Amino acid sequence: MSGFRAPKGTFDLLPPRSAVVTTVREGLAAPVRRAGYAYIETPTFEDTGLFARGVGESTDIVSKEMYTFTTRGGQSVTLRPEGTAGVLRAVLEHGLHRGALPVKVWYSGSFYRYERPQAGRFRHFSQVGAEALGVEDPVVDAELVVLAADAYRDLGLSEVRLLLNSLGCQDCRPAYRARLQAFLHGLDLDEETRRRVDINPLRVLDDKRPEVQAQLGDAPLVSDALCAACQAHHATVQELLADASVAWDDAPRLVRGLDYYTRTTFEFVHDGLGAQSAVGGGGRYDGLSEQIDGPPLPGVGWALGVDRTVLALAAEGVAVPDPHRVEVFAIPLGAQAERQLFGIVTALRRIGVAADIAYGGRSVKGAMKAADRSGARYALVLGERDLAAGAVQLKNLDSGQQWPLPIEEAVALVEAELTTPSFSGTEESAR
Ligand code: AMP
């Protein structure tokens, strides 16, 4: 060990677990990629003001959890704590919103929050996100929720629950907010929470402390205060989810940790994860563009937590296949065999077969162990006697069966065996 360790709240992603993470990342993104969302990448740090204005001053994220520093040039920048604000900034900066709408994009990357680390909660974590900008149509809200639900299902998770709410719009929310504030002012709350009641009373509904929750039983619910347009929007989202066989629980107190949400708000939770049960979430944010000095530009999006999805798979005992696992492992015995097999391995790789080779003149035993560790289904063994006979031994590592292939045809025959397994050669040649 060196004198250094990974910073608190972070972790290194090492093989073999790292393969699960890349598969999960690809799995979470696959449904949106099939639905016309294009990849977008934005910087991992942004002007601090973007998050302060975009995410909201009253949120824990902005008030307590940002990694903010001053650059040598004197500018205050912040490691991104979430993805939506940066994506919207980029869309506005480059005028994508002036083209065909909606702008549908997806991203994948690292995010940073100075939280108290615990199981499933890190200071450096990974999300896959998707955003659809420029249309108010509830079909887009439903599309995104369905695509997230499909992503979890396709990965093999069966215990993810969807919590669904509507937070109203700029027409109906102010009246609700005033009613909620009046209610909250009558409660026994500490100084900081009282301040929060004044800045963003909805956030108080999200307070996890039992002494606060105990007083919220009679709090007015936003679902009872929606205007006709918000009711209709929400009803359409619900109909479309039902049509798509996506089940949900109504969650009239769900507000989530970011201030920008309007109308549709949702969270995916997994009950096998303990306190940090949210595996993903999102919603509509129709006023966010104006908050960062942009034109009116409605939007809806989500972010799915990669790390917690990996934990959820482990909690359900789902084995995640590694599509990039090596299929063929080559074992040369001697320098000349190494040169021959290196050529065959290179040719296999070039036609798309994942292949690896034992290096540095290992013993047969050591090389067989390496082949087992690689997860390969087949070993290609080339020894002195084989070389003289112009053959290479193909061994099925599951069955132990082994048979010779002519070196000249080895690449084609290995490929054929991989597509149509159980080829065992002729009776005479099978050993
Ligand atoms: P949010 O951006 O807060 O809506 O979070 C979306 C998803 O990202 C959550 O549902 C989690 O799965 C994941 N996530 C958020 N914060 C963390 C964290 N500190 N550590 C690990 N995952 C996180």
Residue nearest to atom 11 of ligand 1 (CA): 305
Q: Which atom of ligand 1 is nearest to the CA of 306?
A: 12
For CA atoms 106, 108, 113, 117, give the dihedral sign: positive
Question: In 134-173, which ranges are E strands?
Answer: 160-166
> What value does the mean pLDDT take over residues 218-235?
95
Residue nearest to atom 2 of ligand 1 (CA): 82
Compute the distance from residue 279 Cα to the ligand 1 centre, in Å. 7
Residue 313 CB burial class (10 angstroms; 0-12, 13-18, ≥19): buried
> What value does the mean pLDDT take over residues 219-228?
94
Rounded CA gap, 34 and 69, in Å? 39
pTM attached to this predicted model: 0.91
Asked if residues 313 and 351 have their Cβ atoms less than 8 Å apart, the reply is no
In one letter, which amino acid is 191?
E
In one letter, which amino acid is 221?
L
Provide the pLDDT for residue 257. 67
Rounded CA gap, 372 and 374, in Å? 5
Most confidently modeled range among 256-270, 298-312, 313-327: 298-312
Q: Which atom of ligand 1 is nearest to the CA of 115?
A: 19
The structural domains of the chain, with segments of one domain joined by +, span 17-169+226-316, 173-225, 328-419
Mean pLDDT computed over every residue of the chain: 93
Confidence of residue 411 (pLDDT cuts 50, 70, 90): very high
Tokens of 209: 């402390």
Residue 296 CB neighbour total at 10 angstroms: 10
Compute the distance from residue 236 Cα to the ligand 1 centre, in Å. 28
Q: Which atom of ligand 1 is nearest to the CA of 113?
A: 19
User: Between helices 138-155 and 306-316, what is the axis angle to 10°?
Assistant: 50
Rounded CA gap, 59 and 255, in Å? 11
Element (H, E) at 415: helix 410-419
Residue nearest to atom 16 of ligand 1 (CA): 121
Rounded CA gap, 121 and 308, in Å? 8
Order across the sheet with 328-332: list the strands.
Answer: 355-357, 328-332, 378-382, 391-396, 402-406
Compute the distance from residue 257 Cα to the ligand 1 centre, in Å. 10
Q: Which atom of ligand 1 is nearest to the CA of 280?
A: 10
Compute the distance from residue 378 Cα to the ligand 1 centre, in Å. 40
The alpha carbon of 367 is separated from its chain's Cα centroid by a whole number of angstroms, namely 36
91-105, 218-232, 363-377: segment of lowest average pLDDT = 363-377
> What value does the mean pLDDT take over residues 84-110?
97
Compute the distance from residue 13 Cα to the ligand 1 centre, in Å. 18
Q: Which atom of ligand 1 is nearest to the CA of 123?
A: 19
CA Rg value for the chain: 28
Local structure of 430: helix, strand or coil: coil
| C-alpha torsion 340→344→349→351, nearest 10 | 150
Long-range contacts, 9-18 (Cβ 8 Å, 24+): 9/114, 9/115, 9/117, 9/122, 9/123, 9/124, 10/122, 10/123, 10/124, 11/122, 11/124, 16/322, 17/310
Confidence of residue 425 (pLDDT cuts 50, 70, 90): very low
Q: Tokens 């045809």 belong to which residue?
A: 409
Is the pLDDT score of 1 beyond 90?
Answer: no
Give the pLDDT confidence of 378-407 residue by residue, as tens digits.
999 999 999 999 999 999 999 999 999 999
Residue nearest to atom 13 of ligand 1 (CA): 305
Q: Which atom of ligand 1 is nearest to the CA of 121?
A: 20
**Short-list 31, 265, 59, 82, CA closest to 169:** 265
Q: Choose the residue to mutate in 125, 126, 258, 310 for probing ligand 1, maximizing ligand atoms within 8 Å of C-beta.
A: 125
Confidence of residue 360 (pLDDT cuts 50, 70, 90): confident
Rounded CA gap, 240 and 149, in Å? 13
278: Cβ contacts below 8 Å, ≥ 6 apart: 267, 268, 269, 305, 308
Q: Which atom of ligand 1 is nearest to the CA of 83?
A: 2
194: Cβ contacts below 8 Å, ≥ 6 apart: 185
> What value does the mean pLDDT take over residues 19-40?
97
Residue nearest to atom 15 of ligand 1 (CA): 305
Rounded CA gap, 42 and 56, in Å? 20
Element (H, E) at 32: helix 17-33
Which residues have CB under 6 Å of ligand 1?
82, 113, 115, 120-122, 125, 127, 257, 278-281, 303, 305, 307-308
Compute the distance from residue 110 Cα to the ligand 1 centre, in Å. 11
Topology of domain 17-169+226-316 in CATH is BirA Bifunctional Protein; domain 2 (3.30.930)
DSSP-assigned letters across all residues of 379-404? EEEE-HHHHHHTEEEEEETTT--EEE
Tokens of 394: 């193909």
> What value does the mean pLDDT take over residues 2-28?
95
For CA atoms 180, 184, 185, 186, give the dihedral sign: positive
Compute the distance from residue 69 Cα to the ligand 1 centre, in Å. 22
Is the pLDDT score of 152 beyond 50?
Answer: yes
Residue nearest to atom 17 of ligand 1 (CA): 121
Tokens of 264: 């549709």
State the architecture of 328-419 in CATH terms. 3-Layer(aba) Sandwich (3.40)
Q: Which atom of ligand 1 is nearest to the CA of 127?
A: 8
For CA atoms 309, 312, 316, 321, give the dihedral sign: positive
**Short-list 276, 258, 282, CA closest to 142:** 282
Confidence of residue 427 (pLDDT cuts 50, 70, 90): very low
The percent of residues above 90 in pLDDT, for the chain, comes to 82
Confidence of residue 137 (pLDDT cuts 50, 70, 90): very high
> What value does the mean pLDDT take over residues 247-265?
88
101-110, 205-214, 281-290, 307-316: segment of lowest average pLDDT = 205-214
